[in-house]
Structure 1
């Protein structure tokens, strides 16, 4: 019997593979999700034995609506309920919004205001930080002045030069009695055993987000925490695209890294804190008791309206993608978009094309150089269609463009962690700040125009004549775009 099995082992394994693959393909089809993504997974399952099945196991599972997090422990605490109630707008505040000429963006505000804890906060000060040099300077200053707490949640924290400098400072603050909590993504971050020991000895509490085996070989494992949040003393918050790593320093002759981050003070800091605590309650696996000192009544004069939008497998809807869609479709004059990964779904692509064809000035800035061969050519595959629709496309040429921003009609801006791709919209945990303010929008436009000076504007006729070999690469990578 054993001899018979070993003699036909290959055929047996192939048979088992296709039995499981057919079952998985049937499950995918029944989901009634995006046809392109469905077809990509089915092709992978049926045409690539074993590897296709492994790919589906690691990347194809759909967890939206299954509630990965236990949120009730945080939501049911009385001080959280009181804090949420304090952010409900009254009629006077709504009338003041009309005076700010936000009526055209009312749909965008309403989209998120009553869902997934994204209230519109009115009392805020917002500072735009360009590149790691500005972000780290301000962050280190604020952490150095911390008296009560420092809460960090990052996709990437490395114990390299800048990471070690931050860790030194955190250990110092912990020694002064400041409460330090760190939530880091297990796959993307890198702590040595020496660093872990230092953190523990300093009394810093740190947890990885959803650990997986062999993280160095699993950089694309699904459901990563791509957020970048810092909250100091419940008064100051940071959110945007900049992780904790030396590549963001633009020092020592390394490749130039262009990114954008925000420093905020005011009511929106409480929302950042709230989402940090939801994740902390999950990763710590403890019944977290919310402290009043984590939510501070802001003493500021700024009146910039800000919403914090989050999305991930545990949210009912793809909130950040929906916010971008509404912002694009409601644009009247112009729309400027920057993203390091441009692999849009059909909805976002059609919204951009329709906006341009209806007379809106649409400019899209993407990398000319990318850290992913497949993502680069998948992005390039969308360019011809956009150019034909009248969209101006620019390739950033100075280095790596990692900023994730959009500005619309001189009133709406967004800065955050979400790329314009399927992974950010549906798989990873992301967070964006939505800002409704003319002065911030003007600064964002100025920053965008500065980036255009370091970019190549694509000429439609020249792009249409690009080599056939490149078109083949684009078409091949476009086929697998929903899986990247």
Structure 2
């Protein structure tokens, strides 16, 4: 028996070392997984299979979707004609445009109009109105769709539109939606709607991709109206959950050319999940959007299928290009070494940084890790604020009056490496100022965190912060 146990331990250790050496990943995560697999023989390997494996881009996304929409052709044209492209006002804006063109084929569009929502009730009122007005198709993708009052309202609208002959597609994350939702959408499916969990395994309870979550929140209606931001679908997002109280988030409603990018992103995610679905992508999915408004922006996607952490790189580039003031709002602040170092350099260079985080957890380990890193930033000279008027779920960064990024990506390692995310990078001064003002209002509803705030915490709380920080590569 002892010989068998020794042999199994040796095999386990050999596999752990091979994984750590030959799978390309961040060194801290490699050491974390090596430690888990070594200290938990057998169990560690199983955890790795479900939570630690990387993805292969070619096995997931049908990249021809972007070709069908003309995204690749437009991106290549913008790359080749960089000297003839319309120049934006600030060099940082032009450098971000170039970077995202090369890393994500994220085309720069200018004929856009944006409405900003900071309140869930108002956002869903407008969304439901737009859904009721759909004539051709509704493509809807959310991390979370709860089976509650708000989710039921959404389902009823989708059923009514499907009865009218509108093509309805719903894509949800099975982890974010807390289990199977097919029964919840049974009537919608019966009336012709299509509903898919994102990349669900054909073996329901044996899904080696469970750690890779579709955290995007995208809606496209008739190819003319698009939504992107932080709100999911559920009663808590409109302030009906007493645990969280008022839910502070930010979402964008977009009219114009960038809707095409949201449409392309949706269909790439759809085809990755609905392997048997066939969609004839006709002109109705990308109609001409001619607006007088000019809001330059790019839609940038990132996910574990790529080694390039595109949204994180965007954050770093924005910080490096700042000249005066950086404002950040995020519910989870767990930066990796590169991002933290960039922030510390900005502080040492005399820049002002405001960081707004929640004053309460929705995920205990993540919140304690957030406190740990927020304290490090505060001690380096940043202003750190704990939002007091409910739960703060905004994912935004504003640099000076030059650029804003807003979408689904949190400031944590999970969003950078493990989740599928989508953000809008906007280069329109009035929009930047509007988002900046929402952050300033949140600061007024916040408590500024001082050294005394942390010093007053119990030894146990500080221990949880340290322990959570050690788990941060895996959170």
Alignment partner of 1:106 out of 67, 84, 94: 94
| 1: CA distance, partners of 2:208 / 2:442 | 29
2:115 aligned counterpart, secondary structure: strand
In structure 2, the residue matched to 1:448 is 439
For the pair 1:160 / 2:161, whether they are aligned, the reply is no
C-alpha contact 1:152 1:183 (8 A) present in aligned 2:
yes
1:188 deviation in Å?
Answer: 1.9
| 2: CA distance, partners of 1:150 / 1:55 | 37
| 1: CA distance, partners of 2:311 / 2:34 | 27
In structure 2, the residue matched to 1:185 is 173
C-alpha contact 2:74 2:107 (8 A) present in aligned 1:
no
Alignment partner of 1:407 out of 398, 404, 411: 398
1:78 deviation in Å?
Answer: 7.5
Q: Given the two structures, how large is their TM-score scaled by the length of structure 2? A: 0.92
For the pair 1:391 / 2:382, whether they are aligned, the reply is yes
| 2: CA distance, partners of 1:404 / 1:217 | 32
1:11-57 Cα offsets, whole Å, 9 max, x none, are 73574255224312332133463332222212111123333222222
Alignment partner of 2:257 out of 252, 257, 267: 267
Residues 242 and 132 of structure 1, relative CA distance in 2, 3 Å threshold: same
Root-mean-square deviation (Å): 2.7
| 1: CA distance, partners of 2:301 / 2:30 | 25
2:377 aligned counterpart, secondary structure: helix
For the pair 1:115 / 2:107, whether they are aligned, the reply is no
| 2: CA distance, partners of 1:381 / 1:248 | 27
Q: Given the two structures, how large is their TM-score scaled by the length of structure 1? A: 0.90
| 2: CA distance, partners of 1:128 / 1:57 | 41
Mean Cα displacement is larger for which, 16-25 or 407-416? Answer: 16-25
| Unmatched segments (≥5 aa) in structure 1 | 1-7
Alignment partner of 1:211 out of 175, 181, 200: 200
1:237-259 Cα offsets, whole Å, 9 max, x none, are 00011111111011375632211
1:196 deviation in Å?
Answer: 3.0
For the pair 1:19 / 2:3, whether they are aligned, the reply is no
1:46 aligned counterpart, secondary structure: helix
C-alpha contact 1:73 1:288 (8 A) present in aligned 2:
no
| 1: CA distance, partners of 2:100 / 2:318 | 12
Residues 219 and 20 of structure 1, relative CA distance in 2, 3 Å threshold: closer
In structure 1, the residue matched to 2:230 is 241
2:255 aligned counterpart, secondary structure: strand
| 2: CA distance, partners of 1:219 / 1:242 | 27
1:347 deviation in Å?
Answer: 0.8
Residues 356 and 216 of structure 1, relative CA distance in 2, 3 Å threshold: farther
Residues 425 and 72 of structure 1, relative CA distance in 2, 3 Å threshold: closer
In structure 2, the residue matched to 1:370 is 361
| 1: CA distance, partners of 2:9 / 2:208 | 25
C-alpha contact 1:74 1:288 (8 A) present in aligned 2:
no
Mean Cα displacement is larger for which, 78-87 or 206-215? Answer: 78-87
Mean Cα displacement is larger for which, 147-156 or 42-51? Answer: 42-51
In structure 1, the residue matched to 2:295 is 304
Residues 141 and 434 of structure 1, relative CA distance in 2, 3 Å threshold: same
| 2: CA distance, partners of 1:229 / 1:474 | 33
C-alpha contact 2:199 2:272 (8 A) present in aligned 1:
no
For the pair 1:255 / 2:244, whether they are aligned, the reply is yes
| 2: CA distance, partners of 1:315 / 1:244 | 28
